[in-house]
Copies of this chain bind each other. A is one copy, B any other.
Amino acid sequence: MNIVVLCGGVGGSKLALGIYEEFPGESVTAIVNTGDDLELFGVHISPDIDTVTYTLAGLVNESSGWGLGDDTFRALGMLERYGHVGWFHLGDADLATHLVRTEMLRNGATMTEVTQFISQRLGVTATVLPMCDEPVRTRVRVADGWLAFQEYFVKRRHADTPFAVEFSGVKDARMSTPVLRALEVADIIVVAPSNPVVSIGPMLAVPGFRESICDARAPVTAVSPFVGSESVTGPADALMRAIGGESTSIGLARHYADWIDRIVIDTSDAPAANDIRDIAVACDVTNTLMRTREDKRHLARFVVEAAW
């Protein structure tokens, strides 16, 4: 069975890990957002790719959900001595990943090749794919102008009300052959409970991506990141409103309706199931919170079995 999961960072990687652990005999491919990528001090950082890779490798910092477990921050402390405002959490061992990526890119490798090299070196047997090889940069408009995504998200701790979102460069991006192929041969496509606007949004904006999913033979099942009218983590609620949507599982169903078949919502949102079915999207109900390893594996099996 070929299982494809579309995901962003922390939330998405948890479901990706559940699938990876629960279906060890199957081919698992994670297609990951790169709209959050940034350059700091000349090094190329891919936060979502790294979170997914470190999570699947069993190396992630369990308490934060990103970065390497037990990492240190000596380089960052020294950068601050040089006057850098250290708003981006750059771990010392983590920095090595960025240095390797940056050097490979400079030597002409694609993001796909770099990501494969890094994930393989870290012992990940799933396939981790960037959504595309071209640079796409998510920007968020707040009261005082457009911000690079990490500036909005990390530096300002997503405290600003977002009014609009754009994916700079996405018009020049194209589907990579491995992403195209993964969607074609998929038996099931899972949309992780990642931020619909800034994690799943950028991939849908890659020319041809949405069409490839619609053309795929696999059923497409999304897990809602909303419980009630709030997102489980991060600013998905505010960002949904910024693009004129509603920050609920019903709002998500409407937002995804033209390209998904099924949505899985949290038990506490069970009353919304019929409203979702009215939008012509199948709906299943289970515990979607992934606090423990068992939660992740339960959700993974539930999603795959519901679709299959």
What residues of chain A have their CB less than 8 Å away from a CB belonging to chain B?
Answer: 41-43, 68, 71-72, 74-79, 81-84, 91-97, 99-100, 102-103, 106, 117-118, 121-122
Contact = CB atoms under 8 A, between A and B. Distances in A.
A74 B71 contact: yes
Contacts of A102: 41-42
Nearest to A73: B92
Given A78-B96, A82-B97, 17 more contacts: A41-B100, A42-B42, A42-B99, A42-B106, A68-B78, A72-B72, A72-B74, A74-B74, A74-B93, A75-B95, A75-B96, A79-B96, A79-B99, A82-B121, A83-B121, A84-B100, A95-B95
Contact of A118 (B77, B82, B91, B117): B82
A39 to B, nearest CB: 10
Given A41-B99, A42-B42, A103-B42, A92 B72 contact: yes
A77 B93 contact: yes
Contacts of A78: 68, 93-97
A122 B43 CA distance: 23
Nearest to A121: B82
Nearest to A118: B82
A142 to B, nearest CB: 27
Interface centre among A42, A68, A72, A91 (most CB of B within 10 A): A42
Nearest to A94: B78
A118 B75 CA distance: 14
